[in-house]
Structure 1
Amino acid sequence: MQEKTKIQHIPVKVYRTADHLMVAAPMPGLQPDDITAEVTTDNHLILQGELRGILKEMKELLVDEWSVGGYYRDITLPSIVDAVHANVSYGNGVLVIAFPISQQTHPDRLTLQRIGVDRGEHRGTANVNP
Structure 2
Amino acid sequence: MMSEKAKIQHIPVKVYRTHDRLMVAAPMPGLQPEDLGIEVTADNHLILQGEIRGLLKDVKELVVDEWSVGAYHREIQLPVPVDAERANVSYGNGVIVVAFIISSQTVPARLTVQRVAPDHGQRAGYTGHTT
Structure 1 length normalisation: TM-score? 0.93
Tell me, yes or no, if the aligned pair for 1:37 and 1:110 is still in contact at 8 Å.
Answer: yes
Q: Could you tell me which amino acid in structure 2 is paired with residue 65 of structure 1?
A: E
Structure 2 counterpart of 1:107: 108
Aligned residue for 2:85, secondary structure, equals helix
> Where in structure 1 do 4 or more consecutive aligned residues deviate above 4 Å?
none
Structure 1 counterpart of 2:22: 21
Instruction: List gaps (5 residues or longer) in structure 1.
Output: none
Structure 2 counterpart of 1:94: 95
Structure 1 residues 64-84: Cα deviation after superposition (integer angstroms, max 9, x where no partner):
110010100000001110000
- Residues in 2 aligned to 1:107 and 1:41: alpha-carbon distance in whole angstroms: 5
- Residues in 1 aligned to 2:72 and 2:104: alpha-carbon distance in whole angstroms: 30
Structure 1 counterpart of 2:86: 85
- Equivalent positions of 1:8-87 (< 5 A) are 8-87=9-88
- Residues in 2 aligned to 1:53 and 1:18: alpha-carbon distance in whole angstroms: 42
Higher strand content, 1 or 2: 2
Identity fraction in percent: 69
- Residues in 2 aligned to 1:50 and 1:59: alpha-carbon distance in whole angstroms: 22
Residue-pair matches, total: 126
Query: Is 4-13 or 21-30 further displaced after alignment?
Result: 4-13
Give the RMSD, CA atoms, in angstroms. Answer: 1.4
Aligned residue for 2:82, secondary structure, equals coil
- Residues in 2 aligned to 1:45 and 1:34: alpha-carbon distance in whole angstroms: 17
Aligned residue for 1:127, secondary structure, equals coil
Shift of residue 5, structure 1, vs aligned partner: 2.4
Q: Could you tell me which amino acid in structure 2 is paired with residue 104 of structure 1?
A: Q
Aligned residue for 1:30, secondary structure, equals coil
Tell me, yes or no, if the aligned pair for 1:86 and 1:126 is still in contact at 8 Å.
Answer: no
